[in-house]
Amino acid sequence: MILEAYNFKGYDKGRRGIHMRLLHMGILMNHKKISRLMKKYKLFYPIRKANPARRMAKAIKTSNYADNVLNRHFDEYGPGYVLETDITYLFYGPKRSKAYLSVVKDGFTKQILSYVLSTSLEEDFVLKTINQLFEKHKHDIHTDALIHSDQGA
């Protein structure tokens, strides 16, 4: 049973993967027993190495994150001072195609100031949203306004 779970889907699994596969087969077995039987029948699995990009970023201690100046107090500054932005994924059509919606919202009035819909997730797409914001609301936005975004794409 352990050998069958070990070879399931064509790649080697470790103790946890075998444990999960055995559970799906309706067999409850302690992880220590699985480890013991793997050692007895010389079933080894490759040890996953850490992500080199993450290790490098940790080593040089660089961060692309800005300081959290607002600290979630979006509505304390008045209209035009705090602008919130985000990208939303939209699925449509019979083939579940994906579209992206970039939005800028005023943190005080909760009004959508600009939005752009795109079929690809590129930097130009977000820049179009910001350019549209300044074209439509140039006089409503303060020169010391803060733009708040989640730390996704």
Lowest mean pLDDT among 41-45, 71-75, 141-145: 71-75
Rg (C-alpha) for the chain, rounded Å, is 25
Which two structure tokens, joined as six digits, stand for 85?
A: 């932005």
- Is the pLDDT at 123 greater than 80? The verdict is no
Mean confidence (pLDDT) of the chain: 83
- Residue 21: CB partners within 8 Å, gap ≥ 6? 5, 8, 13
Q: Please report which confidence band the pLDDT of residue 62 belongs to, taking 50, 70 and 90 as the band edges.
A: low
Phi, psi angle pair for 65, to nearest 5°: -90, 135
Residue 52: predicted pLDDT:
81
Show the domains of the chain with their CATH numbers: 2-40 (no CATH), 82-149 (3.30.160)
DSSP annotation of 61? T
The secondary structure of residue 49, as a DSSP letter, is: P
Neighbours of 2 (CB within 10 A): 21
61 and 119 in contact (C-beta within 8 Å)?
A: no
Question: For 18-29, how does the pLDDT look when each residue is reduced to its tens digit (9 = 90+)?
Answer: 888 888 889 898
Question: Span 135-146, mean pLDDT?
Answer: 86
SS3 labels along 64-125:
CCCCCCCCCCCCCCCCCCEEEEEEEEEEECCCCEEEEEEEEEECCCCCEEEEEEECCCCHHH
**pLDDT band at 131, cuts 50/70/90?**
very high
CA distance 144 to 142: 5
**pLDDT-derived band at 153, boundaries 50, 70, 90:** very low
